[in-house]
Structure 1
Amino acid sequence: MTEAQSLAGRLLLAMPGMPDARFDGAAIALCIHDDQGALGVGITDVLDRVTLYDLLDDLDIPRGVAPDCDVHYGGPVETQRGFVLHSPDWTSEGTLEVSPQWSLTGSRDILVAIAEGTGPRHWLVALGYAGWGPAQLDGEMRSHGWYAADGRAQILFNTPYTKRWQAAWRAEGIDPSHLTNVTGRA
């Protein structure tokens, strides 16, 4: 896959009628998309009864100045593995610079930095991720499962999680209430 074909840095929006009910109304921050497959982090659902303080306590990280907040359901793969989507103003050895809009870090050091108040300006924490094998995401997109919207930091970090799917569609100039789960073939 050439660099021009990569969708990393985009927001994947589940199309109405998505066959996999786990992704109904989902928006996923796509972080990797290459010949080996794709990896993204869900940004439209949060986990019940799991907060940032719970994670910090489990990892024996002092809470410091970190505000308690919801932890997102990143996806159905490796749901015990944590990820932080964040503004690119913070980096460590384990940081993947996805786009000018956001980075991804999956190491403990970012949680320590957030707790100490030295972390990125904007961030959200997730457990799990959405993953696709080689060419799998491309096939799902051809089957009208996903739409690749522009990756916008405003939507990722400043829009309530319950409104991100709709906000991403509107930012694309599309009224999501006009979408249908019926597709045609040309």
Structure 2
Amino acid sequence: MVALLWILAVLLLVLTLVDPRRLWYATTAWQFKHPEANEPSGASFALGRVVSGIGAVGFGLAAIVSTAGSVAPLSQDRLDSAGYSAARELTGSYGKYGSPGVSQITDAIGRDDVEVREGRTVNDDDRSFGESYGIQEFYELRGVDDDSITGCMEVSYVGGLFHDGDIDVDVSYAAGSC
């Protein structure tokens, strides 16, 4: 998401700096039999530059704020925000033998100052042999520099050795230890 904001900001900045008349001839003039007769006015080109400049500033500020939040020192609020975002990102359909693990959770959190540890796994063992059963996997998130900053990621799904097809994984996050 942050990368997209940076790309849009740079693209709009480039459009602001490029000669709008040359850009119009390169992208749109080919559609007209007599492009000189259909060329937009100077005011139209100026307005395009102003709108692109305002957009570049807006997307640039959003990118700076987003980037600053991801590189700012870890706090419980920042971990909670990253945890909830990662839970939304990781929820979905996975292959038969796949579910989010430590590496996928670490990537979704997107911070080097958070350690992800695999916790306990709870199985619904009341099923007969060969049936799918409920599985809950817990992952503890802990600040590398500050052990008091903690979170818990719960990955729930119905699976097992004989489960047919893909599995639908539900991921939730809660502040505090697992």
TM range (shorter): under 0.3
Q: Which has the higher strand share?
A: 1
User: Which structure's CA Rg is the greater one?
Assistant: 2
TM-score (norm 2): 0.23
Structure scoring higher RCO (CA < 8 A, sep ≥ 6) equals: 1
